[in-house]
Amino acid sequence: MLDNKNNRKNIIFTFAIILFILIIDQSLKIWVKSNMSIGENSFLHWKWNIKWFQLYFIENNGMAFGMELPGKLGKYILTIFRLIIITFMVFYIIKLSKKPVPKILLISFAMITAGALGNLIDSMFYGLIFSPSHFYSSIESVSPAHLTAIGKGYAGFLQGKVVDMLYFPLFTIHFPHNWPLVGGKIFKFFEPIFNIADSSITIGVILLLLFSKKWNNIAEANKNVNEIN
C-alpha cells in the first residue's frame, strides 16, 4: 500500500489529466456550437487549405463516432449508463491510486473517464443552455446557436445532443463500375466524425490493452511478495 502522500499525488495527477481533457473537449465543442451551423465544413466554406483534416459540425444523440440508440428512451438509457460508468471509474481510480501501479495505467483510466464525462456533459446540459443549431445553407444566412437562460434551450435535462466536429478524410477510393459488389461505390477513410471525448476514450482503451500485461505482471509480483511476507 502506498503512503498517503503518494496516494494524494496519484489522485491529483489522474484528476488533473481528466480536467485538462475536459477543458479542451468542452472549449472546442462550445466554440463549434456557437460559431458553426450543422453541416458547415471548414474546408468547403472557409479559407482552409488542409484537405485531410476538417472541422465538420454535426450533432448526434448517442455513442462515439455518431452511433446512437433510437428515441427518447434510448437517450435516457445511454446517458444514465454513462453516468454509472463514470461513477464506477472515479471510485476505481481512487482505489487504484492507492496501489503501486504504472502511471500509464492511471493515464488510460483518466482518458476513458474524461471522454465519457465530456460527452455526458453534452447530454445532460447542452439542451438546457443552448438554442437549437440549424443546418448550414449556402443560399441564406443561418445564425449559429447561442447560450440561453437555463431551461430555455432546445431540449430537456439528459436530452442534449453530443457535438462532433473532427473529420479526417485522409483518402478516397472510387471503385470501378465493373467490380462486383462495390462497383461504382466510393470509400472514404476515415469517414466517421467525432470529438475530443471520443478520441480520449479510444486512446485510453488502446493504452489499457497495450499495457494490461505489464500491469498484471506487477500485480502478480506484488501478490507473491505479500504471500512471502
Look at residue 225 in the predicted model and tell me its pLDDT. 44
Q: Is 164 a catalytic residue?
A: yes
d(CA 223, CA 218): 9
Query: Using CA atoms in the order 100, 104, 109, 110, what is the torsion angle rounded to 10 degrees?
Result: 110
b (16+ CB within 10 A) / e for 119-143: bbbbbbebbbbbeebeebeeeeebe
Residues in the chain predicted with pLDDT less than 70, given as ranges, are 1-3, 45, 48-49, 62-71, 214-229
Alpha carbon distance 117, 25 (integer Å): 10
Report the C-alpha gap between 33 and 146 in whole angstroms.
Answer: 8
Q: Residue 162: exposed, middle, or buried by beta-carbon count in 10 A (0-12, 13-18, 19+)?
A: buried
Output the DSSP codes for 110-165: HHHHHHHHHHHHIIIIIHHHBPPP-B--SSS--PPP-B-STT-SSS-TT-PPEEEE
Per-residue pLDDT, 70: 59
